[in-house]
Structure 1
Amino acid sequence: MKKTILFFTGLLALTSCKTTKEEKPVLAQHVAVQKQYEIDSLTVKKHLYTLASDEMEGRKAGTEGIEKAAQYIEKEFERIGLTTYKDLTSYRQSFEHKGANMFNVIGVLEGSSKKDEFVVVSAHYDHLGMKKSGDDKIYNGADDDASGVAAVLTLAEYFKSRGTERTVLFVAFTAEEMGLVGSKHFGKDVNPTDFVAGINIEMIGKTSSYGPKTAWLTGFDRSDFGKIIQKNLEGTGYKLYPDPYPKFNLFFRSDNASLARLGIPSHTFSTGPIDKDPHYHKVTDEASTLNVSNITETIKAIALGTTTIINGTDTPTRVVVE
């Protein structure tokens, strides 16, 4: 009803004077501004608690639980208005791995002036599944990585409401926990020269070791991607730092690595206190242990920090993987 009122209000205003070709874009721009989605904690919480619920049974690749998660992501992509990837007839990029049927979930937001240049916004939607015994058997994977998928869905809605110059692929990768299986399969089917950047998001539900309103980036020194983000965040109060855990080799342990090995400047945003997280890969990694405000603020920072890349103003240098 609100959209209808906005439309007819604009129409009545135009009928009071002569309509010219110059006036039409002004009306379209006004209506578009009214529709812009602003990132909010209620939407983030809905995505997080749904994906990390017991109903999803730990989202292990190849199980009924991950099927439920995939259906939720697909419905959100459809609601937002994303299209399918290449010649796929659905949002699923299906393949077989060790006798199991698996699928990445991909939604596309086509760009305008640079639609043949691609940016990937991703997170893995799988986790560890269920234990065979115990009072709590479900590895809910709230921080790892329902928080990242919540970010992908929220960013999809954010950028869809604004439009982009480059084409953005919003991807939920499967089987990351089995060795980056989904992202490796995705990487087999791309022309690296067409891909400008990979924006991967993992474990953003807790305050980072750098303090509140901070995140860190894997492989910071391997391209100027991180410096672009830092520049765009100046004056916001939110700061991005290099990965504080070099001994863990995290740049190669998340889905960004599958694209980075192709030369694409692909990095992972995180706030995870890896060395001091009692819930990592435990059944206690539940949504109630996370800070929804932290997730929301980090998503806002990623949105602002990456906007110049997504809209074609900045192009990161190719990544160094040696």
Structure 2
Amino acid sequence: MNKLFCLIVICFLSFSNVFAQAKSEIYEPSFFEETLLKNIENLSADAFEGRRTGTRGGIKARKYVINEFYKLGVQPLFKRNYEQPFTFTLDGKYYEASNVLGVIKGEKYPDKYIVISAHYDHEGIKHGEIYNGADDNASGVGALFSFAEYYQYHSPKYSIILAAFDAEELGLQGSKYFVNNPKIPLKDIVFNINMDMISRSKNNELFAVGAAHYPFLKSVIKGMETPNNFKLSMGHDQGNWKEDWTHSSDHAPFHKQGIPFIYFGVEDHSDYHEPTDDYENIQPVFYSNAVKVIISVFEKLDSLSL
């Protein structure tokens, strides 16, 4: 009887572990890779006409972001309104633009915020050709949606602002406006993660920029586990790099205010700012791995006292 009873217990515990693992896989995914790829494909389609700020395609892209945030249960940062409209003049031309801002409340530090950002605009139509901007930066916006998916099943300690900035291609106008017209005190924004071009690399290498300015990030980045054939590197922020990316994207206005940042991006490729930056030229496996690594870095940051 004792042997039989032990056997029953062992079988029950084994079944429970399998069931718990299966339940976890069903109910607690990191994000859905198929959805990640579908979003970058959709946003870089000809129908969005290159997503240039203020154009029909740019407005359509903005509505797409708002709709995805709503479907994923991301709350508007402002009361019942995801948009932060602004205007600016550049080279004698007047632009109407808008950031799209959502929030996921943190459990431990609800009044402290980590801003996760990506710009949704691109180059538009030039000389009759559509610049679809799959890598630049439909890839970053797709990752924003993956963060929203992830936090349907995981509660962050800090509150998260998901920021889809407009007019990055016109001089970082959206992120500048956000930082210079804060609805949340800047002292309550403890970190910025910015994603701009993360879906392809001939060297399977994603750069995490910012540790040269904020040395505590070195231990965060060095300690990250990465998938096979994937490299997470530090650089492009100090030293002998040909290109210093410290001020190259929407993390720059945060850095100017002394807010620590990590900028995730890849080195320029032959389709950068060309009409050939299309969905067909991204690397799906690399892209998915990049998003997984970025979420893992966020998880580590979220555990720190920032």
Which of 200, 212, 215 pairs up with 2:206? 215
Percent of residue pairs bearing the same amino acid type? 32
Does residue 314 (structure 1) correspond to residue 289 (structure 2)? The answer is no
Provide the rounded CA distance (Å) in 2 between the counterparts of 1:207 and 1:176.
Answer: 22
| Equivalence map 1:56-205=2 (5 Å) | 56-85=48-77, 87-98=78-89, 99-133=94-128, 137-190=129-182, 191-205=185-199
Q: Which position in structure 1 is the counterpart of 2:248? A: 253
Provide the rounded CA distance (Å) in 2 between the counterparts of 1:248 and 1:124.
Answer: 21
Asked whether the 8 Å contact 1:126–1:174 carries over to 2, the reply is yes
Asked whether the 8 Å contact 2:119–2:250 carries over to 1, the reply is yes
Q: Which position in structure 2 is the counterpart of 1:319? A: none
What amino acid is aligned across from residue 179 of structure 2 in structure 1? G
- Deviation string 1:197-244 (CA, Å, 9 cap, x unpaired) is 100011111126xx33x4112232100353243255147655421235
What amino acid is aligned across from residue 314 of structure 1 in structure 2? L
Change beyond 3 A, Cα 1:315–1:231:
farther
Asked whether the 8 Å contact 1:225–1:265 carries over to 2, the reply is no
Provide the rounded CA distance (Å) in 2 between the counterparts of 1:297 and 1:235.
Answer: 8
Provide the rounded CA distance (Å) in 1 between the counterparts of 2:305 and 2:208.
Answer: 17
Offset at residue 72 of structure 1 (A): 1.0
SS at match of 1:220: coil
Q: Which position in structure 2 is the counterpart of 1:40? A: 32
- Deviation string 1:33-53 (CA, Å, 9 cap, x unpaired) is 853233232111111001100
* Count of aligned pairs between the two proteins: 275
Provide the rounded CA distance (Å) in 2 between the counterparts of 1:244 and 1:181.
Answer: 22
Provide the rounded CA distance (Å) in 2 between the counterparts of 1:69 and 1:223.
Answer: 34
TM-score, length basis structure 2: 0.84
Q: Spell out structure 1 runs of 4+ moving beyond 6 A.
A: 30-33
What amino acid is aligned across from residue 84 of structure 2 in structure 1? Q
What amino acid is aligned across from residue 243 of structure 1 in structure 2? G
Offset at residue 161 of structure 1 (A): 1.9
Asked whether the 8 Å contact 1:228–1:314 carries over to 2, the reply is no
Asked whether the 8 Å contact 2:236–2:246 carries over to 1, the reply is no
Q: Which runs of 5+ in 1 are unaligned?
A: 1-29, 317-322
Q: Which position in structure 2 is the counterpart of 1:5? A: none
Change beyond 3 A, Cα 1:236–1:280:
closer
SS at match of 2:232: strand
Provide the rounded CA distance (Å) in 2 between the counterparts of 1:58 and 1:103.
Answer: 16
Change beyond 3 A, Cα 1:223–1:315:
farther
Provide the rounded CA distance (Å) in 2 between the counterparts of 1:131 and 1:228.
Answer: 44
Change beyond 3 A, Cα 1:97–1:88:
farther
SS at match of 1:233: coil
Asked whether the 8 Å contact 2:175–2:253 carries over to 1, the reply is yes
Provide the rounded CA distance (Å) in 2 between the counterparts of 1:125 and 1:218.
Answer: 20
What amino acid is aligned across from residue 269 of structure 1 in structure 2? F
Q: Which runs of 5+ in 2 are unaligned?
A: 1-21
Question: Over aligned residue pairs, what C-alpha RMSD do you find?
Answer: 2.1
Change beyond 3 A, Cα 1:226–1:295:
farther
The structure carrying a bigger helix percent of its residues is 1
Provide the rounded CA distance (Å) in 2 between the counterparts of 1:166 and 1:48.
Answer: 27
Offset at residue 262 of structure 1 (A): 0.5
Provide the rounded CA distance (Å) in 2 between the counterparts of 1:106 and 1:231.
Answer: 31
Change beyond 3 A, Cα 1:229–1:299:
farther
Q: Which position in structure 1 is the counterpart of 2:287? A: 295
Asked whether the 8 Å contact 1:226–1:240 carries over to 2, the reply is no
The structure carrying a bigger strand percent of its residues is 2
